[in-house]
Amino acid sequence: MPKAKGRGLKGLSAKYGSTLRKRHGRVFSTLKMRRNCPSCGSWKLKRKSKGIWECKSCGLVITGRAYDIAPTPIKPA
Helix H, strand E, coil C: the string for the chain is CCCCCCCCCCCCCHHHCHHHHHHHHHHHHHHHCCCCCCCCCCCCEEEEECCEEEECCCCCEEECCCCCCCCCCCCCC
Residue 43 lies in a domain: yes
Residue 25 lies in a domain: no
We report the CATH number of the domain holding residue 39 as 2.20.25.30
pLDDT at 5 exceeding the cut of 80 = no
> Which tens digits make up the pLDDT trace of 51-70?
888 999 999 998 888 888 87
> What are residue 63's DSSP bridge partners?
52
> Which tens digits make up the pLDDT trace of 22-62?
888 888 888 888 899 888 989 999 999 988 889 999 999 98
> What are residue 61's DSSP bridge partners?
54
Record the pTM. 0.67
